[in-house]
């Protein structure tokens, strides 16, 4: 593998595994208030398109990297949505207690 391809492979590896600590942190704390819902909606949509792009080109590295990134990104998105729904339920319950 030449230097340019080595750099590209390293780049793809890093931007893929980068989201593992975020999934771990959000899973552990259950808190995602500081995480932007819109960022993970846009990012997951973009990574899905990268995956489709890789499938159309039959380019295995693009498929693999984006398949894994999509899983991680959608996990963060799901944890964020769960946190939003929980917070809403808590507010509704508190409202009913004050009635």
Dihedral, CA of residue 54, residue 4, residue 46 and residue 15, to nearest 10: 120
Q: Which of 1, 27, 46, 63 binds a second copy (CB under 8 A)?
A: 46
Question: Which tokens is 74 given?
Answer: 């959608």
Q: Which of 27, 49, 88, 89 binds a second copy (CB under 8 A)?
A: 49
CB-nearer residue toward a second copy: 33 or 97: 33
Cα(39)–Cα(80) distance, integer angstroms: 11
Q: For a second copy, what does the binding mask look like between residues 12 and 41, x meaning CB under 8 A?
A: xxxxxxxxxxx-xxx--x-xxxxxx-xxx-
CB-nearer residue toward a second copy: 24 or 85: 24
Radius of gyration of the chain (CA): 18
Beta strands in the chain (DSSP E): none
Cα(76)–Cα(65) distance, integer angstroms: 17
What does the binding site for a second copy look like in residue numbers (CB under 8 A)?
3-4, 7-8, 10-22, 24-26, 29, 31-36, 38-40, 42-43, 45-47, 49-50, 52-53, 56-57
């Amino acid at each position: 593998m030449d230097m340019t391809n080595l750099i590209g492979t390293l780049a793809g590896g890093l931007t893929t595994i980068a989201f593992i600590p975020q999934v771990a942190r959000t899973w552990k704390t259950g808190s995602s208030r500081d995480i932007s819902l819109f960022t993970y909606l846009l990012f997951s949509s973009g990574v899905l398109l990268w995956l489709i792009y890789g499938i159309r080109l039959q380019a295995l590295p693009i498929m693999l990297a984006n398949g894994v990134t999509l899983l991680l990104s959608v996990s963060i998105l799901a944890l964020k949505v769960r946190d939003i729904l929980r917070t809403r339920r808590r507010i509704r319950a508190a409202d009913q207690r004050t009635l």
